[in-house]
Amino acid sequence: MKEISQADGIEDFADSNYIYVDKTEYIYNLVKKYKRVFFSRPRRFGKSLTLNTIGTLFEQGTDPYFKDTWIHDKWSFGTYPVLRLDFLSFSTDDVEDFKCSLCRKFREFAALQGITGYTDSNEPNDLVDSIFTFAPDSWRFVLLIDEYDAQMTANINDEELYEKFRKCIRKFYGVLKTKKYIKFLAVTGVTRLKDVSIFSVGSDIKDLTYEPAFSQMIGFTRDEIKRFYDDYLRLAVSYENKEVKPEEVTEAQIDALLDRMAYHYDGFCFDRKYRNKVYSTWSVNNFLQTLSIEEEVEFGDYWYDAGGLPTILVNYLKSHGTEVLKSYEDLGGRPGATVDVDYDDFKNPSSLLSIDKNVLMCQTGYLTLKSAMNGDPDFLQLGFANQETAKALSKRLRRQLFPYMDSEHSRHARSVLEHGDAKAIVSHLNETLASVSYDNFPFDNEAVVRSLLFFYVRHYSDAVRAEGHNYKGRSDLTVSFTGRVLVLEFKFSPDGKGLESLLESAKSQIKERDYGRENLGGRELLRIACVFNASPQERQISPWQTVE
């Protein structure tokens, strides 16, 4: 049985010990139809392997590496020299160092091609333009650029450095436009940014990020997993059903396993028509590799371990933490819910410095398309792709907000929320709020306080509703445990004034709308009216009162 590779970018196709999911038909159609392409995908999704496949085909043709693939007897595009540029390997904090590294790659490539006489420069656009000027008229090459946006995503909180990299990269792509020497150009990245000339008016690079015909070129389909990982799927069923041998496993059992895998790892949509979806390659490979090592089925959170910690989102949280937190609340912290985003904000994000939070989370892989892009002309829907990405965002936020939340703290918190009296609960929530960095998460309004507490209690109960509806209205926060329903109704005082009046308003709202009675099922009902005093001297829930 062949091994499963975790690598996002294997260049040695001669190694027959690894499973290679055959995507060569997509690549054939890509090269046949287009000369210059761009596609964005989250980290650890297979972009590098796709570029390496394209590069190997152009360098070597199909023999001997593609002997058993779809494309073996169909490649008709010839062979050419290939220049591979991985922007992740270049400096992200020094523009001059970045320029030197990029220029060095072109000088070395020019030397291998026997191109001389050009004017040397440490400005990439000037150097490349000069190399093209002195290249033989018949010379052609293939250019593959991986993670084109690495320098900008690393500097989302440094406007000055971001702008320096943006201008440099824009000039570099500007000199590539329409150049006849480029036989084929493919560019990948995490983000799609209008302020880089790849997507500007007049660009000859085709953005295929959400093109239906190529929406499953990167990522695994259900049929591909069944076809290429059949041995592993049979092992998985056999490990869970000790009396069943791998060769005795039925199609129905395999489909049931794939349904469970889909809940955790499927659901990524890169199809503007919202028809085709894919599983995360990184997560599926890790799930099956863990299966073969541990000899048991374990649905781990592999996205968080690797792709779930992109630098861009870590940095974004430092300056936009409350915005991301609000999105998490809007989505209920679980797959299924959706948020609306402006169509133009999604299709044409201008800059990382001003990008919509939900669009950024979609580009980094936390959210995905949940509606067709040609449906509502003004809005489209985004949501979590699956359970794994929902948990990954929760973990990332928890590390940012509550780094002290170890297992001992969690046991205490759960006990207080499920069994403590109102005084203990409010005291615990005040301690929790006091621990949050006010610089990153300022308590500016009631919605921020509610979002913070929604996220916090969501860790201890799956049944949490922010602004939960009943037939008379909606409560701010309703938390359901096995033996208790906890209702919290908040009011907010920015300066510590009008506290008693606000408390009375919260109490009246609970009573009049009878929050928490729906689906009570004999459980204890604990309802607490709360006022968050945001004055600098307090910043806590005070006053508060239980409501019978």
What are 474's strand-pairing partners? 469
* Residues 248 and 210 occupy one common structural domain: no
Instruction: Tell me whether residue 407 is in a domain.
Output: yes
* Residues 172 and 257 occupy one common structural domain: no
Average pLDDT over residues 426-455: 86
Nearest to 183 by CA among 33, 80, 51: 80
Query: What does the pLDDT read at residue 464?
Result: 81
* Residues 390 and 422 occupy one common structural domain: no
Instruction: Tell me whether residue 165 is in a domain.
Output: yes
Compute φ and ψ for 236, nearest 5 degrees. Answer: -60, -45
**DSSP 3-state of 54:** helix
Amino acid at position 210, single letter: Y
Compute φ and ψ for 284, nearest 5 degrees. Answer: -65, -45
**Token pair 């093109």 in the structure block, residue:** 211
Instruction: Check if the beta carbon of residue 316 is closer than 8 Å to that of residue 397.
Output: no
* Residues 177 and 30 occupy one common structural domain: yes
* Residues 90 and 170 occupy one common structural domain: yes
* Residues 356 and 457 occupy one common structural domain: no
Average pLDDT over residues 131-142: 97
Query: What does the pLDDT read at residue 484?
Result: 95
Query: What does the pLDDT read at residue 5?
Result: 60
Query: What does the pLDDT read at residue 532?
Result: 96
**DSSP 3-state of 499:** helix
Nearest to 151 by CA among 136, 172, 182, 137: 172
Instruction: Tell me whether residue 1 is in a domain.
Output: no
Domain count for the chain, please give it. Answer: 4
Summarised one tens digit per residue, pLDDT across range 171-223 is 998 899 888 999 999 999 988 876 665 665 457 889 999 999 999 999 999 99
Average pLDDT over residues 438-443: 77
Summarised one tens digit per residue, pLDDT across range 350-403 is 777 788 889 988 988 889 999 999 766 789 999 999 999 888 888 878 877 887
Cα radius of gyration rounded to whole Å, the chain: 27
What are 3's strand-pairing partners? 18
The answer for residues whose C-beta is within 8 angstroms of residue 448's C-beta and 6 or more apart is 322, 325, 326, 441, 442
* Residues 53 and 82 occupy one common structural domain: yes
Six token digits for residue 225: 């997993």
The answer for residues whose C-beta is within 8 angstroms of residue 375's C-beta and 6 or more apart is 274
Highest mean pLDDT among 17-21, 77-81, 335-339, 409-413: 77-81
Instruction: Tell me whether residue 357 is in a domain.
Output: yes
Six token digits for residue 143: 């250019």
Compute φ and ψ for 279, nearest 5 degrees. Answer: -85, 155
Instruction: Tell me whether residue 5 is in a domain.
Output: no
* Residues 327 and 469 occupy one common structural domain: no
Helices 230-240 and 281-294, interaxial angle, to 10°?
A: 50
Query: Is a pLDDT exceeding 90 seen at residue 336?
Result: no
Q: Are strands 367-369 and 379-384 parallel, antiparallel or unpaired?
A: antiparallel
Average pLDDT over residues 461-476: 62
Average pLDDT over residues 489-510: 95
In degrees, to the nearest 5, what angle opens at C-alpha 264 toward C-alphas 394 and 369? Answer: 75
Compute φ and ψ for 246, nearest 5 degrees. Answer: -55, -40
Q: How many CB atoms lie within 10 A of CB 318?
A: 13
Kindly state the DSSP code that residue 233 receives in the 8-state scheme.
Answer: H
CA 303 – CA 285 distance, rounded (Å): 11
* Residues 287 and 317 occupy one common structural domain: no
The answer for residues whose C-beta is within 8 angstroms of residue 192's C-beta and 6 or more apart is 38, 40, 199, 207, 209, 349, 363
Instruction: Check if the beta carbon of residue 531 is closer than 8 Å to that of residue 503.
Output: yes
CA 257 – CA 436 distance, rounded (Å): 41
CA 400 – CA 421 distance, rounded (Å): 29
Instruction: Tell me whether residue 525 is in a domain.
Output: yes
* Residues 384 and 408 occupy one common structural domain: no
Query: What does the pLDDT read at residue 494?
Result: 94
What pTM value is reported for the model? 0.86
Six token digits for residue 190: 């995490």
**DSSP 3-state of 544:** strand
Write down which residue in 185, 214, 243 finishes a domain: 214
**Token pair 């389909």 in the structure block, residue:** 221
Count Cα neighbours of 495 within 13 Å in the Cβ-side half-sphere. Answer: 2
Query: What does the pLDDT read at residue 523?
Result: 93
Instruction: Tell me whether residue 387 is in a domain.
Output: yes
Nearest to 298 by CA among 388, 397, 406, 222: 388
Count Cα neighbours of 507 within 13 Å in the Cβ-side half-sphere. Answer: 12
* Residues 498 and 359 occupy one common structural domain: no
CA 414 – CA 472 distance, rounded (Å): 29
- Residue 42's CATH number: 3.40.50
Query: What does the pLDDT read at residue 471?
Result: 41
CA 351 – CA 330 distance, rounded (Å): 24
Write down which residue in 365, 394, 423 finishes a domain: 394
Amino acid at position 117, single letter: G
* N residues, the chain: 548
Q: Which band of pLDDT confidence, cut at 50, 70 and 90, is reported for residue 264?
A: very high
Domain holding 35, by residue range, is 24-214
Q: Could you tell me what percent of the chain has a pLDDT over 90? A: 60
Query: What does the pLDDT read at residue 391?
Result: 85
Q: Is the dihedral of CA 205, 209, 210, 212 positive or negative?
A: positive
Write down which residue in 166, 188, 214 finishes a domain: 214
Q: Which band of pLDDT confidence, cut at 50, 70 and 90, is reported for residue 18?
A: confident
CA 361 – CA 358 distance, rounded (Å): 5
Q: Quick one: 247 exposed, middle or buried, by C-beta within 10 A (0-12, 13-18, 19+)? A: exposed
Instruction: Check if the beta carbon of residue 310 is closer than 8 Å to that of residue 154.
Output: no
Q: Which band of pLDDT confidence, cut at 50, 70 and 90, is reported for residue 107?
A: very high
Q: What are the C-alpha distances in Å from 524 to residues 122, 165, 410?
A: 72, 58, 22
CA 208 – CA 202 distance, rounded (Å): 16
Nearest to 301 by CA among 254, 335, 330, 265: 265
CA 455 – CA 475 distance, rounded (Å): 16
Span between the terminal Cα atoms of the chain, in Å: 64
Instruction: Check if the beta carbon of residue 186 is closer than 8 Å to that of residue 51.
Output: yes
Average pLDDT over residues 437-451: 82
* Residues 358 and 438 occupy one common structural domain: no
Instruction: Tell me whether residue 15 is in a domain.
Output: no
